[in-house]
Amino acid sequence: MVDQEGTSPKPGARVDTSTCEYIGDMLARISDKWTLLVVRSLGRGPLRFSALRREVGEVSKKMLTSTLRELEENGFVTRTVIPTRPPQVEYALTDLGHDFLTPVQGIAEWVVKNSTRIDAARASYAGRV
């Protein structure tokens, strides 16, 4: 075996393996550049595609589309087409998505509360290097 990258089966996991895998899977699912940002934006109320794009920031149409598709697939948001002159599409959090907002806000609040410590740590690291 010459420095293999692949991981072989690991028998002795500390916590229930399938639960761990499930969490890991979900964390991987939400750990992309836009998902949390989009959920947070929709947490303040339903938004149309363009409004959401303005709200989130520098997200491209393509990535916003694919992020929303995946959130839809996971049951976090609904997509409603409003048949106006140029048809508009409204995105809103489902009950599940709204509940998910709680832990997400938890992170956001933690970040705000600890911003001083984070900045201090970063400054200190920059100083050491």
Binding site for its own copies (CB under 8 A): 5-7, 10, 14, 19, 22-24, 26-28, 30-33, 35-37, 40, 44, 53-54, 57-58, 60-61, 72-76, 94, 96, 99-100, 102-104, 106-112, 114-115, 117-118, 120-122, 124-125
- Residue 54 or 66 having the CB closest to its own copies: 54
Separation of alpha carbons 43 and 37, rounded Å: 10
Separation of alpha carbons 96 and 105, rounded Å: 14
Residue 2's binding partner out of DNA, its own copies, none, with CB under 5 to 8 Å set by partner kind:
DNA
H-assigned helices in the chain? 17-30, 35-42, 49-56, 61-73, 95-113, 115-128
Closest distance of CB 86 from its own copies, Å: 14
Are 104 and 36 a contacting pair, CB within 8 Å? yes
Closest distance of CB 65 from DNA, Å: 4
Separation of alpha carbons 109 and 97, rounded Å: 18
Separation of alpha carbons 68 and 46, rounded Å: 13
Residue 88's binding partner out of its own copies, DNA, none, with CB under 5 to 8 Å set by partner kind:
DNA
- Residue 34 or 100 having the CB closest to DNA: 34
Tokens standing for residue 3: 């420095």
Closest distance of CB 90 from its own copies, Å: 18
